[in-house]
Structure 1
Amino acid sequence: MAPGKEDREANWKKEDRHLMQKKSHPARISTLQTPTMKRFLILPLFCCLLFGEEPSEIKEGHSHQGHAFNEGPRQASPLIGNTGKVHLPITCSWNQGQAYFNQGLGQLHGFWYYEAERSFRKILAHDPNCAMAYWGLSQANYSNEKRAKEFIAKATELLKKEHLKITPHERAYLDAEIAYHDDKKEKDSKKRIKNFIRAYEDLILNHPDDIEAKALLVCRRWQFNRKGVPISSYLGLDAILEQIFAKEPNHPAHHYAIHLWDNRKHGQALDSAARLGKTAPGIAHMWHMPGHIYSKAKRYHDAVFSQQSSARVDHAHMAKHFLIPDQIHNYAHNNEWLARNFGHLGDAPAALAMAKSLLANPRHPKLNTLEGRSHSYKYGRNNLLKTLEKFELWEETFELSNTQWLETLPKQPAHDRARLRLIGIANFHLDHRVELMQIINQVEDLLADEKEKKQVDEDKAKEKATKEKKKEGEIKKAVTEAGKKYNRLIGSLEKDCAELLGYLAEMNDDEKTAKESLAKSSGSATFKALRELQFGNKEAAEKAARSVLDGDKKETVSLANAITLFHRIGKKEDAKKGFEKLRVFSSEVDLKSRPFARLAPIAKEFDYPTDWRQAHKPADDLLPRPDLGTLGPLHWTPPAAPAFSLPDQHQKNISSSSMAGKPHILVFYLGAGCLHCTEQLTAMASRYSDFEKAKLPILAISTDKVTDLKKSQDNYEKGDIPFPIVSDHQKEIFKKFSAHDDFENQPLHGTFLVDGKGRVLWADVSADPFMEIDFLIKESNRLLELHR
């Protein structure tokens, strides 16, 4: 034990006894007095003493360390391995602190920030004086300035302690991070960035063997480029990376080499692309990043391998921690790109399955919404629409149009218009005239609604500006600004109307209107050219086909359409040239989908076999790869819910097995003394008839003792709570469901949807209870329909 530690712990125990006498909240007292809590008392009490935060002011489920700790992972995890061969010496009194720090550092290199936090928090649970663990937490929140500042502020306070043990090497890291976030001392963010770079250069000059500092410097220089401080020399940063790889060839800094050259000259990072996944195979993002380079190089087979690996590693990890997919950084981005690359390879079933997989993922009002910038819901819907159109899956579109896969979104016209357009096109190709006309009417209604809303806002702006006696030019400007937000959607709807009216005109043999609308229509150039050719426009058809043949995109559908175009206009040599080009990367092509089915008679004419595809030949710059199946499932798979048997207030046990075959909601709440838990139970009890209609019984699991369960019933003013409440006073089931802060040994609020097969389909674990009842019922119904 570090010198002086016994004295500190003795003082904390005295403070602990004082707090126990002072504290009036029975639920919290029983939690703190649990024997297993002793070694975890150090951290919350330390933070209360250090930062002046009185425990009595902390809500149930909230961290004793401050608001920043309410977010992020609150469950411990063992050393997982495979996170990178890295090492940065730190001062830590815990004998496993260095190993966990190295793991967290490797996770930082892999942008696996959520798990990096888990590693650094584990250190602090054992050694609250480890300043470098706070440094790690700050680093893990590079994109969340508010949280990063809160974490590094704690390190700043530690550095003020007279007897804190820390090396000059560590202090250099901490000083650089503290200065970077100190916007009071230096308000100019670009100056702080430049000072940070200078600090890391000095750190490297003083510690030339520290390859971690070099790696982090390259990382930050690339990130700062996005903050308005351009990279002055790509070759200079690359030279730093070469110094790292000379010492450790498989360092995870290959990640930064890919980012560095991705948008400059991707070929420079091909070696890093081949190595990166194996530098930290336990981190999904390290498998994802090579996909950037391979996609740029049009090596879609290699890109798909990388992105599949990433998806599988992520899905395996989620099952262990009851995480829903969109809790993981870049998860949706990876799988969206994977769906696109499946499409480039011509693998229609795989592209469709991945789009549906994204769309099927559990939704969450904070983590996965249609409006989210990079959420599964948005990516899945967009990719499903694009895949159905790309592969001309008109029957599938019609079948899905009345299901949740292509659900109507009446309050979100920007998203619903794309759905209506696709269904309209499908109806044309299926010769559904009446249905096409109905779709056109719906699009016209959307357009009229948007124009009306625009007019209302413009009139209000004009009235307001006029009342304020503004000049004519200012009034016009106010009116223009008020209507600007509608222009893009109105333009898209007008284009959709024209396109669909063109299809209807073609069905009515109105060639003139059909041709005019075709010029304004969306869709790929080669697909439009196929329609142009129907109207005799051979010049447009050849132009589109030749652009594909002479290009280097290697996208199978476009090339298949180009082959068809050349063949139909009599350019058979070009058609054969295109076919030979296509066959080289045709191994995954779906011969049944229309773009490739059209090639069957052409293949026969050219004496190709019925299955004209050729096996993929791997490039010679690849390293040995793992079997994909060993990494995890390709699509998100609901984990099995832990079994339990717990007593209710009448000492009657209720078990998970008794609920088999019945979908249900589990609510983990923190006892009758938790006011916001009472609010949640009251809200659910008041809406219980709605849960009953949805066939969703509720079971509440409390931290109270059996003898105290009646208090929760007494808190409900409308009689008995209409669902059972059971006791998990020892918090064993809380822990199994990850509704527990392992670092501070306290329970967390949790709401779970478990299906009849005992699988967790949806989860929310937080410092606060989940209160959006309408969302919970609707999402539960959706997920249960998908997974029945």
Structure 2
Amino acid sequence: MNLRYFAAIPLLCCLCITSQLWALEPSAGGDHDESSTTAGHSFHGEAFNEGPRQQAVLIPGIPKIDFPTSTKSERAQQFFEQGVAQLHGFWYLEAERSFRQAAKEDPEMAIAYWGMAMANVNNRERARGLIDEGVAKKDKGADQREKLYIDALNRYLPKFGEDAPKDDSDAKKKRAEKFIADLEKILHAYPDDIEAKAFLVLQIWLSDREGVKLTSRYAVNALLSEIFAVDPMHPAHHYRIHLWDSAQPKLALESAANCGPSMPGVAHMWHMPGHIYSKLHRYADAAWQQEASARVDHAHMTRARLMPDQIHNFAHNNEWLTRNLIHIGRVRDAIDQAQNLVSLPQHPKYNTLDKRGSYKYGRERLLQVLTQFALWDELIKESGGYYLPPTSDAAQQEEWLGWLAVAHFRTGDAARGAKTLRSLNRRRIALETKLLDLADAAAAAKEAETNKSEPQQSEEKSEADADESETQETPDQIKSHLKTLRTIIARAAAAAASHRREEAKFKEHAKHAKLEPLIEARWLADARDLKGALEIAKREYKKRTGEVRPLAILVDLLWRNEQKEEAIKQFQELRNVAADADIDTPLLSRLSHIAKAAGVQGDWRIPREPAADLGDRPPLDELGPFRWQTYEAPTWEAKLPDGSLTSAEEFSGRPRIVIFYLGFGCLHCMEQLHAMSPRVNEFRKAGIDIVAISTEDPETLKTGIDDFDKPIEIPLLADAQHHIFKSYRCWDDFENQPLHGTFLIDSRDRVRWQDIGYEPFMDVDFLLEESQRLLKLP
């Protein structure tokens, strides 16, 4: 394509004033000045910018909830009740989508905005904006029951702004107490409202965190029993699990069995029983639940074209699944799941190394399974590879280097281990030097103040000095960093001493290494203190019943300590505990001689019989894939500025960034293209093309291009009918307007990364780095 494009972008009005007139169909009534709304932003205010902006569908596996409303629209009622059910499953993104769809079907449905606010319990400021809309509409047809729900939430949510009262712990407690009283008020007026009972149970449990003491779990449980007497499969089973999770998990076993089947379309409902089974050391049952949850989420994300960490608790569920896979010895699946977490798309908003998202969890769990199962050769192979690459994060890099040194020592490569250990010590010395320099500077400053001498430099710092002071570590931060680093160094030194069979030196380093107890037991045994190692192993076995690793290590150490009869006895128990374990891993394969002594040939595992108290469990493969999978990019045809056609096939076969922008009249869009323009060659060097698709028609697009005089290389295409925008879901279905979008599509036409929203994605450095990372993954 030989097209002219330009990088010089004038400062236009921030409104999108293209010649296109979009048929606006807001999701709510009221007086909104649509002409003053920034392109891509909601016509109804800031609270509506975030959250789902694509239409909802009625999802299989959502139970029928009885929550009558005043709407005359059957579809609005269906979507509203679907949203209420999704609230019970903490599926907040989809709950809000359902409530928005209800408001789309019935713009005056005030209770739908109550639902949207309820779906934003983790974002109180947004929730406030949403409930305000419900309050404004409640007198236009809402019945008395709906008004009670709206008023209760309105009083509970804090006010925001300069004039808002201080929201301290006492204010939070009072609001929580009032909310509980308001929910009881609903029950006084409508005693058969089991939804009010369900939300009351939830709020009593949540308010314990806000200072309202939960004084009787049995009283709350009695309220739950009233719900189940009416509807035995109500999704409030979720709340009973939370109620007893930390107190008496056995009392929630019935709800653990019913939770997933009560709402099989919601991943979190499969996840929740894992809390109970984990507390009861039933790790295989917990792993099944969390795998079911992961598969349901994976299937949904592919259908809805969501990135994984957009789903509430997705990363938490999958990292917990990985931990339980480790407990039951499913080592290969644990590695696979950890690698999958690392390989998922990162986004600066919700998944980076410094957030509790998939990438950080995946890296931590991958190191955990490799180190705890002594897969040192695999750790060395992974380090610097696809899933454990070097990182600019000092803490993560040092943790990785520490384990790399351990792996070298444990595999007998003392020279490489020592080299890595020296690099860690150089880091330690640099930090110690920095700490001394800061101490000297502080002492000099104090002396200067005492002598009342003039400062050596101007009181006005340069901008560079100011920036440096803002990013410089404080002495306390350096001390904390040093403490962690010294622990890592001690761990590597302990591994070296163990390999050399130096018992005294090992014990000296182990005092500071904070070794995981079972790793310490194995290393101590290698350092020739079998008795001490056995004491640790016995202690851990008693604390960690149901786990494969403690029992396997105990069996091994008993045998090595010549307690062969006891070793065989414990091995018989291991055969049951390790029913799902990978027995070809080094930890378990070394027990083959014990199996032979016990008279067992070949696969020594005893198949697991399902527990009698489990609920309906569908085949896992029917729920979705084990790993998250990318989706296929929609095909399209667009017009060039001269009116001729081009298509997605012309860009196929090479990775590309596809930008959806709202026209030359949208300042934010022009800022994005302006930011991308100087970087085109960097993307090309990385093997990535860039193309941008506009809402404009060819004539308007050409006019915009001709108004500028600095050519750039990004092809600009026209999608005047918005077919491509809609096929990529860069479209607000509730307000019938386009949204900004940025996509990474690989050479196989699979979408690897995306950002869709009311503003364009502007972090070009992140986009380039993340695109390169994702495209390198196998």
After TM superposition, the score normalised by the length of structure 2 is 0.91
Cα distance, 1:246–1:752 mapped onto 2, change above 3 Å: same
The amino acid of 2:717's aligned partner reads V
Offset at 1:298? 1.2
Query: Secondary structure in 1 aligned to 2:611?
Result: coil
Counterpart residue number, 2:65: 86
- For residues 64-101 of structure 1, what are the alpha-carbon distances to aligned partners after superposition, in whole Å with 9 as ceiling and x for unaligned? 11111111100002211322331211122433111111
2:202 maps to 219
The 1:527/1:348 distance shift into structure 2, 3 A limit, reads same
Change in 2 beyond 3 A, CA 1:205/1:536: same
Deviations 1:493-540 (A, max 9, x none): 112222323444456675542342234334432332222223332331
Identity %: 39
Distance 1:149 1:728 in 2: 37
What residue is the counterpart of 2:661 in the other structure? Answer: 669
What is the match of residue 421 of structure 2?
440
Counterpart Cα distance in 1 of 2:26 and 2:763: 33
Q: 1:399-414 alignment to 2 at 5 Å? A: 399-409=381-391, 411-414=392-395
Aligned to 1:419: 400
Q: Are 2:714 and 1:723 aligned?
A: yes
| Aligned-CA RMSD value | 2.2
Q: How does 1:385-404 map to 2 (within 5 A)?
A: 385-404=367-386
3-state SS of paired residue (2:406): helix
> How far 1:489 moved relative to its partner?
2.5
* Cα deviation 1:563-611 (Å, max 9, x = unaligned): 0001111112321222121111212211121110110111111112221
Listed one character per residue, the Cα deviations across residues 440-466 of structure 1 (whole Å, up to 9, x for unaligned) are: 122112223333444455556666677
Q: How many angstroms does 1:554 deviate by?
A: 1.4
Deviation for aligned residue 1:25:
7.0
2:94 equivalent among 91, 110, 115: 115
Q: Secondary structure at the match of 2:665?
A: coil
Matches of 1:388 and 1:716 in 2, distance apart? 57
Q: Is residue 63 from structure 1 mapped to residue 42 from structure 2 by the alignment?
A: yes
In 2, the alpha carbon distance for the partners of 1:130 and 1:657 equals 45
Distance 1:622 1:424 in 2: 45
Q: 1:208 aligns with which of 186, 191, 196?
A: 191
- Quote how far apart the aligned CAs of 1:29 are: 5.7
1:165 matched to 2:157: no
CA contact (8 A) 2:16 2:663 kept: no
Q: 1:548: how far off?
A: 3.8
AA aligned opposite 2:289: S
For structure 1, list consecutive stretches of 5 or more residues without a partner in the other structure: 1-22, 471-480
CA contact 2:495–2:523 (8 Å) conserved in 1: no
**2:490 is matched by which residue type in structure 1?**
A
Question: Structure 2: which amino acid aligns with 1:145?
Answer: R
Measured in 2, the distance between the counterparts of 1:340 and 1:26 equals 49
- 1:148 counterpart letter in structure 2: A
Partner in structure 2 of residue 639 of structure 1: 631
Q: How far is 1:238 from its partner?
A: 0.4
Q: How is 1:317-332 mapped onto 2 (pairs within 5 angstroms)?
A: 317-332=300-315
Q: How many Å apart are 1:439 and its aligned residue?
A: 0.9
The answer as to 2:322 corresponding to 1:339 is yes
Distance 1:624 1:54, change over 3 A: closer
- Conserved? CA contact 1:461–1:482, under 8 Å: no
1:363-406 superposed Cα distances (whole Å, 9 cap, x missing partner): 0111101111x200110000011111011111111111121321
> Which of these residues, 716, 724, 748, is aligned with residue 739 of structure 2?
748
AA paired with 2:723?
E
Report the CA distance between 1:133 and its aligned residue: 0.8
In structure 2, distance between residues paired with 1:466 and 1:288: 61
What is the match of residue 12 of structure 1? Answer: none
CA 329–257 in structure 1, closer or farther in 2 if over 3 Å, else same: same
Pairing 1:311–2:303 present: no
CA shift for structure 1 position 646:
1.2
CA gap of 1:580–1:715, structure 2 versus 1, over 3 A, is farther
Q: Which moved more, 1:286-295 or 1:534-543?
A: 534-543
After superposition, the C-alpha distances for 1:5-42 in whole angstroms (9 at most, x for unaligned) are xxxxxxxxxxxxxxxxxx9978456233x4xx4xx157
Would the aligned equivalents of 2:498 and 2:524 in 1 still touch at CA under 8 Å?
no
Q: In structure 2, what is the Cα distance between the partners aligned to 1:644 and 1:305?
A: 41
Map 1:22-37 → 2, pairs under 5 A: 27=17, 30-32=20-22, 34=23, 37=24
Q: Is the 8 A contact 2:16 2:39 kept in 1?
A: no
The structure-2 alpha-carbon separation of the partners of 1:458 and 1:117, relative to structure 1 and needing over 3 Å to count, comes to: farther
Q: Once the two structures are superposed, what CA deviation does each residue of 1:665-722 show, in whole Å capped at 9, x if it has no partner?
A: 1100111111110111121122111111111111111100011112443465522x31
Residues 309-334 of structure 1 deviation map (CA, whole Å, 9 limit, x = unaligned):
11111111111222110000000000
Q: How does 1:606-755 map to 2 (within 5 A)?
A: 606-714=598-706, 717-719=709-711, 721-755=712-746
Match status 1:383 vs 2:392: no
Greater relative CO (CA pairs within 8 A, separation 6+)? 2
User: 2-side partners of 1:186 and 1:86: how far apart?
Assistant: 37
Task: Note if contact 2:501-2:526 (Cα within 8 Å) is conserved in structure 1.
Answer: no
Which residue in 1 is equivalent to 2:155? Answer: 179
Tell me by how many angstroms 1:203 deviates: 1.1
Q: Deviations over 1:240-271 (max 9, x none)?
A: 00000000000000000001111111111111
Amino acid at match of 2:359: Y
Which residue matches 1:3?
none
Contact 1:81–1:103 under 8 Å retained in 2 = no
Distance 1:333 1:467 in 2: 52
Q: 1:256 to 1:325 in 2, by over 3 A?
A: same
Q: What is the match of residue 585 of structure 1? A: 577
Q: Contact (CA 8 Å) 1:545, 1:566: kept in 2 or not?
A: no
> What is the distance in 2 between the residues matched to 1:681 and 1:573?
74
What corresponds to 1:300 in structure 2? 283
Report the residue type matching 1:383 in the other structure.
Answer: R
Shift of 1:770: 0.7
Segment drifting more, 539-548 vs 670-679: 539-548
CA contact (8 A) 1:321 1:738 kept: no
- Per the normalisation by structure 1, the TM-score is 0.90
Q: Distance in 1 between matches of 2:185 and 2:165?
A: 21
Determine if the alignment matches structure 1 residue 533 to structure 2 residue 533: no
* CA drift at 1:778: 1.1
Within 2, Cα distance between the matches of 1:441 and 1:506?
18
The reply on whether 1:348 has 2:331 as its aligned counterpart is yes
C-alpha distance 653-460 of structure 1, shift in aligned 2 (>3 A): farther
Q: Does 1:74 align with 2:78?
A: no
Q: CA deviation at 1:483?
A: 2.5
> In structure 2, do the counterparts of structure 1 residues 225 and 455 end up closer, same or farther at CA, with 3 Å as the change threshold?
farther
Cα deviation for residue 433 of structure 1 reads 1.8
One-letter amino acid of the structure 2 residue matched with residue 31 of structure 1: L
- Cα distance change on mapping 1:510 and 1:578 into 2, 3 Å: closer
Aligned residues: 738
